[in-house]
Amino acid sequence: MIDPWGSASLEYQELIEKFGVKPFSEILDDVPDPSWLMRRGIVFGHRDYERILEAVRKGEDFAVVTGMMPSGKMHIGHKMIVDQLRWYDSIGAEIFIPIADMEAYSARGIDFETSRRIAVEEYIANYIALGLDLSKKNIHVYLQSENLMVEDLAYILAGKVNFNELRAIYGFTGSTSMAHMYAPIIQVSDILHPQLEEMGGPRPTLVPVGPDQDPHIRLTRDMAARFREKFGFIQPSSTYHRFMRGLTGGKMSSSKPKSAIFLSDTPEEAEAKIRNAKTGGRETLKEQRELGGVPEDCIIYETLLYHMSGRDDDLEEIYDSCRNGTLMCGECKNNTAEFVRKFFEELSEKREKALRVAKGVLEG
């Protein structure tokens, strides 16, 4: 069982072996001009992505849905969602971004007013600053608690799901609150509502998620099948991405400030965090020259892998010179710290402007 609200980290291979997710590498060659996150294996799995590829190939309409739960600060690991959305925007998707304030209330006890404030000041502002143009007509951002179409559909969907089923998927018990039990149904509705007649009717829909969110995907696909006759729903497709590890190893988490670079950090703070991050270097320079470093164990390398969006050749060069012992961690850290500082200088400038327009996004 996978707990989407828990903090346990998941073995990616397990998702492929036990839960029927397919390796993304098998279809990578079919993706015209794949994003760097796909090319580098950060997007590692999928369900029914072929449906999305077919829609892209035929120039047909498709939707992408990915929500945000406004429960803390956005860190650099979350940036990957925005990078994926920008890529889907560039290939013509209609994008839906539900703000999961009902889930934040039921799973984290955060009241609706606080959720709204966090969503605007933290998430929406950062999405804009990271380059997603939320004023475009094909991008829809909404609060779950304010979207009556989603709420009405959720109630209809709830008619065909029972406690035993939710218990089997999520491990709910007799002491789980009704609100918490209802939260997944709202999410199912978030994902399926772009296929309602009033939204343009059934169409392929993609949900890019972290592996911990797979229970919602399985439930949604089941529910889509149960309501196919009534609404014509097409089972949604999904992709699964790896999470960037924390700066000190382990999981990057908003609740562990030392593990994460927050998007609201100053350029100096971000740079200092990179300089203190764990590397895959050897104990001594001599050893490193002889044995080479281990980029797979290095947060510096991982930062570049996830965020250096340019040519893969540059990244491969860093990988090779690390492995063969010609690149030392001091120089590599300096270059990466410089890269991160520049990125944060630009981001903090954009964030200031983005904050001013973020409020209007939920009102427009």
* Least distance between ligand SF4 and beta carbon 36 (Å): 18
Nearer to ligand SF4, 239 or 259 (CB): 259
DSSP assignment letter at 243: P
Residue whose CB is less far from ligand SF4, 192 or 300? 300
332 scored as a contact of ligand SF4 (CB under 6 A): yes
- Rounded CA gap, 284 and 279, in Å? 13
Binding piece for ligand SF4, criterion CB under 6 A, among 71-79, 147-155, 266-274, 328-336: 328-336
CB atoms within 10 A of CB 198: 7
Q: Which residues pair with 22 in a beta bridge?
A: 46
Give whole-number Cα distances, 29 to 15, 77, 364, in Å: 22, 26, 40
Q: What is the Cα–Cα distance from 288 to 329, expressed in whole angstroms?
A: 9
In the bound state with ligand SF4, the residue whose beta carbon lies nearer, of 162 and 309, is 309
Least distance from C-beta 32 to ligand SF4, angstroms? 31
Q: Tell the smallest beta-carbon distance from residue 300 to ligand SF4 (Å).
A: 4
With H, G, I as helix, E, B as strand and everything else as coil, classify residue 70. coil
Residue 237 φ then ψ, to 5° = -95, 165
Candidates 81, 95, 219, 322; binder of ligand SF4 (CB under 6 A) is 322
Q: Is 295 among the residues that bind ligand SF4 (CB under 6 A)?
A: yes
Q: Answer whether 239's CB lies under 8 Å from 206's CB.
A: yes
Should residue 306 be labelled a site residue for ligand SF4 when binding is judged by CB under 6 A?
no
**Residue the block writes with tokens 């001013």:** 356
CB of 257 vs ligand SF4, minimal distance in Å: 22
DSSP 298-345: -HHHHHHHHH--S-HHHHHHHHHHHHTT-S-HHHHHHHHHHHHHHHHH
| Residue range at the interface with ligand SF4 (CB under 6 A); choices 100-108, 162-170, 201-209, 326-334 | 326-334
235 versus 288: smaller Cβ distance to ligand SF4: 288
Radius of gyration of the chain (CA): 21
When asked if residue 144 is in the footprint of ligand SF4 (CB under 6 A), the reply is no
Residue pair 219/184 in contact by the 8 Å Cβ criterion: yes
Structure tokens at 229: 């006759």
Contacting residue, 237, 259, 279, 303, with ligand SF4 by CB under 6 A = 279
DSSP for 144-162, written as a single string: GGG-HHHHHHHHHHHTT--
- Of residues 129, 209, 300, 361, which one binds ligand SF4 by CB under 6 A? 300
Q: Is 333 in the site for ligand SF4 (CB under 6 A)?
A: yes
Is position 247 an interface residue for ligand SF4 (rule: CB under 6 A)? no
Half-sphere exposure of 340 (CA within 13 A, CB side): 30
Which residue from 327, 337, 340, 358 is in contact with ligand SF4, where contact means CB under 6 A?
327
Residue 280 is a binding residue for ligand SF4 (CB under 6 A)? yes
Quote the least distance from Cβ 280 to ligand SF4, whole Å: 4
When asked if residue 329 is in the footprint of ligand SF4 (CB under 6 A), the reply is: yes
Residues within the interface to ligand SF4 (CB under 6 A): 279-281, 293, 295, 298, 300-301, 322, 327, 329, 332-333
